[in-house]
């Protein structure tokens, strides 16, 4: 059975969506969801364009509120921004939590999204594998 990971950010429009897509595309045996503590309810256009260019965009990716995922069973919660780390809610069941922060590319050029993608792939994916022992 696959391990389940929740990627948590503030707006759930850039970093957490990119991380969700990378995990689902590149980490065998792990399924990811993402959510925002204050979800923007839209995916940043540059984030979507980047994921499409990498061939890992899914039409099911969208900006979700925490309420829509909080009752799901997760093996790990990952915060990818400081605000989400500081305001991470209590989950109904005890869940392992880690923080790996990334600079927000929102409002910057496309290159900033490429940089964020590369950083998430190089820093976050190995950390998740290590923590979940996969």
**Residues labelled as active-site residues:** 9, 81, 88
- Report yes or no: 40 and 13 within 8 Å, Cβ to Cβ: yes
What's the rounded Cα separation, in Å, for the pair 82 and 111? Answer: 22
- Report yes or no: 23 and 7 within 8 Å, Cβ to Cβ: yes
E-only strand ranges, the chain = 3-9, 30-36, 76-79, 96-99
Quickly list DSSP for 77-104. Answer: EEE-SHHHHHHPPPPSS--EEEE-----
């Amino acid at each position: 059975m696959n391990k389940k990971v929740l990627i948590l950010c503030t707006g759930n429009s850039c970093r957490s969506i990119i991380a969700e897509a990378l995990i689902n595309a590149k980490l065998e045996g792990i399924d990811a969801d993402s959510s925002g503590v204050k979800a923007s309810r839209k995916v940043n256009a540059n984030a979507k364009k980047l994921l499409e260019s990498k061939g890992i965009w899914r039409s099911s990716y969208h900006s979700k509120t925490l309420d829509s995922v909080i009752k799901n069973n997760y093996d790990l919660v990952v915060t990818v921004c400081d605000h989400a780390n500081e305001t991470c809610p209590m989950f109904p069941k005890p869940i392992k939590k880690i923080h790996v922060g990334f600079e927000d590319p929102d409002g910057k050029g496309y290159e900033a999204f490429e940089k964020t993608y590369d950083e998430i792939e190089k820093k976050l994916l190995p950390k998740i594998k290590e923590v979940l022992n996969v």
